[in-house]
């Protein structure tokens, strides 16, 4: 490993320069006008994969955005890892809150700033650079690898599922590896073993067929903004619980053991609150902050819009008002079932005076995995070697629907090595990736691939088949 | 009157061409970037007033937008009328809903389309063209007139009040004349004797100090959009009444006589509903549609905004969310008192986890007047001569705060001759003015000035002094 480790330490500057190119492409998957950027980004990524030494590089068209595939399969008898990541990014808006342009990677006080730098371009790059270090020092990898990098993660990964179904053979592997999560905190390398699921909706309320003068009509017509607020307000009860009949029915309760384990983690409400800037933390009664974000389902309005919102006053009753909202789901909740419940509730809440349009944007399962599998344990050890710190097992509040689908479909372990930090603004202005974590991440991942190559066939089967998620 | 009437009938085309120029200036008072357009519009109007023969034309600077003043005072022994109108317009947004550009006057199916054409540029022009017809046919007017055309009506007329206070002498008159209201319907010329008051507010809720990822933070931090919806939802009760303690305390109840009179008007719920395009009419229980819009106070949210509202999905918890909302007030409600009650209610409804910013945009009294004054009666007769139809007395749901202030301060009658129609989209896309009403309006107003000139001194005092609004 010494030449690989030395190589990684000697190429730190170049790793930043190359990431700068990757982040310069505004590959925003949710906005149709960025389709050409998405395609340019897929091409750039494919070229880079070829350049470092991966083989069978292919840009695979889908009904949506393309998937970039590559592999290297010349380590017979060694495990095969399927790495999954995404090259698409969230929209950068609101632009005025960025301190440097979102698509110009900028180093400031030890952090790299750019849209997508932590979610997920930088973390994809951590793996590519680790592989490159092996190729440059001996011309081969310690394991077999397959890379599947998609362009629709931020919009629900819809077309990846079809691809996975169709290409079961091509994607066959011993484990899935993902780096799209965060560490518990700075200096605490973390392996993630649980993710929340997601459903994302949009509701549009139409009252009058066009905007009306609030003087001439106010008091006699249904105001869609008033009504939207009244509907949305009824989606929570006074205890902070989601007020949708049946919503909690399938929720897997937290075990005493896991609650105790959560308590032992070096997590402080005070620090968490400081990160968010809120006056006080809130949430479902009876649960700690860490339980609320990792293991309890939630509902949040993500956007709302209607009527006049520019400067000053306009005395108008809007024709339409709309809200985007989403749920986070936990183990055993079924997104399709939740969608049905939410739709029913919205339709019930809408008064007969208005029209309602309900749109489902995306759905994904939660995922919780056992962490005693040798690959998962190898992940923890590799992080401790790369960071020279004790590593922990954590869950995350976010969603990577593909992980749960992969797990459900192939019953293979998933190793989630996250190198982001919770306050790095993954979906907000001034997204960043800590430079030290980027560099130590590349090192850790190199140790990981090396360690997995050392695991013998018998150990491999360990946590894979038939195990139930906890 | 014959030469005047003939002149008006022979110049119909020119009246449209000149109005086109007036409407081409985007004099949007609520948007700071249109300040130069406001000034250009004031200049254009002043030039036009000089051109038709008015005197002492002056563009008067204020702390906000300028007031255009002009007069003609060479009819000794005749009454003096103060005409009040405004040259500022509402913002045209949403632009994509206009069928022709908002600042290009377009004639389509007998209607003139442009932002401001009915509210209030076209109606101001009706008076200027009527005066012009007298000047061109005999060189003098049948009455003394003063014109005060302001540029801040759509933002609350703040600086006109200071001007009125300072210039009591200059503005002394026997009656106020306003054309900024609507007819009850097509073919029903109407004199308006009541207007609602207004308060307009904005509330901003701040939760996190910046946008957060809804996965990593959802369930543990206050979501400002959720909270804003919950707050707004509590501003109405289940009976459609405004749920602000004390809100109805001072409301002057409708008399049996007036309710009976409302019932006799040719107003049909079905037509009103058709105009608005709503599935059903709603409102405060126990009142008819016409009572709800003319004589009952209301609260409407005029705009709401927060989080991600562009295409697709973004799993974000917004830092801030805000709503613009307004009340319409009726006789005896005091806007300053209502503002206090609303502010108190908003502060009570906000949970301690968020910051609240409350802004007052504008306030204005309601106005209800007796209609037996000879000037008011002259208005009705003039409308019947101009339109060759029976005229009615009506109220309006909209607000012209200046009318109530004038009435309160000078105790002079106000004659409100409205030439708009209820479905002409005063504050919405595709604002229009019916061409026939524009032409018949000019004729009616000429008859009105003529008739007022015939009223002798004794009659003038009639409803003016000391009368209480009903």
Distance from CA of B170 to the nearest CA of A (A): 31
The alpha carbons of chain B give a radius of gyration, in whole angstroms, of 23
Bridge partner residues of B147 (DSSP): B70, B83
> Residue B23 falls within a domain, yes or no?
yes
**B155 falls within a domain:** yes
B324 - beta bridge partners?
B202, B303
B163 located within any domain: yes
Q: Are residues B212 and B326 in the same domain?
A: yes
**Adjacent-strand bridge partners of A185:** A188
What is the DSSP track for A162-196?
HHHHHTTTTT--SEEEE--SB-SBTTB-EEEEEE-
Range of the domain at A20: 2-195+366-460
Question: Shortest CA distance to A412 belongs to which of A402, A423, A424?
Answer: A402
The answer to whether residues A172 and A216 belong to one domain is: no
Contact call for A314 and B91, based on CB within 8 A:
yes
pTM of the model: 0.84
> Is the ipTM value over 0.90, yes or no?
no
pLDDT value of residue A405: 85
Say yes or no: B329 and B202 in one domain: yes
Distance separating alpha carbons of residues A179 and A419, to the nearest angstrom:
7
Asked if A323 has any chain B CB less than 8 Å from its own CB, the reply is yes
Contacts with B219 from chain A: Cβ below 8 Å: 283-284, 292-293, 296-298, 300, 328, 397
Q: Considering CB atoms only, which of A233, A355, A398 is closest to B230? A: A233
B206 and B146 within one domain: no
Residues A372, A223 share a domain: no
Query: Residues in chain A with pLDDT < 70?
Result: 457-470
Q: Do B347 and B446 fall within a single domain?
A: no
Same domain, A389 and A454: yes
Residue among A37, A88, A111, A396 flagged as catalytic? A88
Residue-wise DSSP of A403-470 = HHHHHHHH---EEEEE-B-TTS-TTSSS-EEEHHHHHHHHHHHHHHHHHHHHS-HHHHTTTTSSPPP-
CB contact (8 A) between residue A218 and residue B397: yes
Q: Which of A364, A380, A407 is the last residue of a domain?
A: A364
Please report whether residue A465 resides in a domain: no
Helix (H) or strand (E) segment spanning residue A209? none
Q: Is there a single domain that holds both residue A395 and residue A425?
A: yes
The predicted pLDDT at position A89 comes to 97
- CATH classification at residue B414: 3.40.630.10
Query: Looking at the complex, does the CB of residue A361 fall below 8 Å from at least one CB of chain B?
Result: yes
B155 contacts A313? CB cut-off 8 A:
yes
The answer to whether B371 and B395 have CB atoms below 8 angstroms apart is no
What pLDDT does residue B468 have? 28
B75 lies in the same domain as B10:
yes
Reported as type and span, the H/E element at residue A69 is: strand A67-72
Count structural domains, chain B. 2
B259 found inside a domain: no
A251: cis peptide before it, omega within 30°?
Answer: no
User: What is the per-residue pLDDT for A457?
Assistant: 58
Please indicate whether residue A153 is annotated as part of the active site.
Answer: yes
Mean pLDDT value across chain A: 93
3-state secondary structure B373-425: CHHHHHHHHHHHHHHCCCCEEEEECCCCHHHHHHHHHHCCCEEEEECECCCCC
pLDDT in the model for residue B467: 29
* A312 and A372 inside one domain: no
Judge whether A266 is closer than 8 Å to chain B, CB to CB.
Answer: no
Q: Would an 8 Å CB–CB cutoff place A328 in contact with chain B? A: yes
* B-interface mutation test, from A92, A194, A207, A314, most B Cβ less than 10 A away: A314
Residues in chain B predicted with pLDDT less than 70, given as ranges, are: 457-470
A289/B contact by beta carbon, under 8 A = yes
Q: Which of B119, B157, B221 to mutate to test the interface with A (most CBs of A within 10 A)?
A: B221
Residue A281 is assigned to a structural domain of this protein: no
Of B318, B335, B364, which residue constitutes the final position of a domain? B364
- Domain finish residue from A323, A345, A364: A364
Domain presence at residue A433? yes
- Where residue A211 sits, what CATH number does that domain have? 3.30.70.360
Of A278, A313, A427, Cβ closest to residue B324: A313
B153 is catalytic: yes
Q: Whose CA is closest to A3, among A455, A436, A450?
A: A450
Interface list for B 24-53 with A (CB within 8 A) = 29-32
Contact B31 A310 (CB under 8 A): yes
Give CA angle at A397 (A392, A398), nearest 5°: 110
Could you tell me if B72 and B187 lie in one domain?
yes
A279 in helix, strand or coil?
coil
B244 and B390 share a domain? no
Q: Is residue A289 part of a domain?
A: no
Q: Is B216 close to A30, i.e. CB distance below 8 A?
A: no
């Amino acid at each position: 490993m010494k030449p690989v480790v030395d190589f990684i330490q000697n190429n730190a500057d170049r790793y930043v320069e190359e990431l700068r190119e990757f982040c310069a492409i505004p590959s925003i998957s949710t906005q149709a006008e960025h389709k050409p950027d998405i395609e340019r980004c897929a091409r750039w990524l494919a070229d880079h994969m070829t350049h470092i030494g991966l083989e069978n590089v292919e840009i695979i068209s889908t009904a949506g955005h393309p998937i970039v595939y590559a592999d290297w399969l010349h380590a017979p008898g060694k495990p095969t890892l399927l790495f999954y990541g995404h090259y698409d990014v969230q929209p950068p808006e609101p632009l005025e809150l960025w301190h440097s342009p979102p698509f110009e990677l900028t180093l400031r006080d030890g952090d790299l700033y750019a849209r997508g730098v932590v979610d997920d371009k930088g973390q994809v790059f951590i793996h590519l650079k680790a592989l490159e270090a092996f190729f440059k020092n001996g011309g081969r990898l310690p394991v077999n690898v397959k890379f599947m990098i998609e362009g629709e993660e931020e919009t629900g990964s819809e077309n990846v599922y079809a691809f996975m179904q169709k290409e079961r053979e091509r994607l066959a592997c011993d484990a899935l590896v993902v780096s799209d999560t965060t560490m518990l905190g700075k200096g605490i390398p973390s392996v993630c073993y649980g993710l929340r699921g997601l459903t994302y909706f949009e509701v549009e309320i139409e009252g009058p067929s066009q905007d009306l003068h609030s003087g001439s009509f106010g008091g006699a017509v249904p105001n869609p903004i008033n009504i939207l607020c009244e509907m949305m307000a009824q989606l929570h009860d006074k205890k902070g619980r989601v007020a949708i009949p049946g919503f909690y029915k399938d929720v897997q309760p937290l075990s005493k053991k896991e609650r105790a384990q959560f308590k032992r983690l070096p997590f402080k409400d005070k620090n968490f609150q400081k990160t968010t800037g809120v006056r006080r933390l809130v949430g479902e009664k009876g649960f700690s902050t860490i339980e609320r974000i990792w293991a309890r389902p939630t509902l949040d309005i993500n956007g709302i819009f209607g009527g006049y919102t520019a400067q000053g006053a306009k005395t108008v009753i809007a024709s339409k008002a709309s809200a985007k909202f989403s749920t986070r789901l936990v183990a055993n909740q079924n997104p399709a079932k939740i969608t049905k419940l939410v739709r029913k509730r919205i339709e019930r809440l809408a008064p007969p005076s208005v029209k309602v349009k309900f749109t489902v944007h995306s759905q994904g399962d939660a995922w919780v995995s056992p962490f005693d599998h040798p690959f998962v344990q190898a992940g923890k050890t590799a992080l401790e070697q790369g960071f020279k710190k004790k590593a922990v097992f954590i869950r995350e509040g976010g969603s990577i629907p593909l992980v749960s689908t992969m797990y459900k479909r192939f019953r293979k372990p998933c190793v989630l090595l996250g190198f982001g930090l919770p306050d790095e603004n993954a979906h907000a202005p001034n997204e960043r990736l800590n430079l030290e974590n980027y560099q130590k991440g590349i090192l850790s991942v190199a140790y990981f691939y090396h360690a997995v190559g050392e695991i013998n066939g018998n150990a491999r089967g360990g946590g894979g088949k038939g195990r139930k998620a906890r």
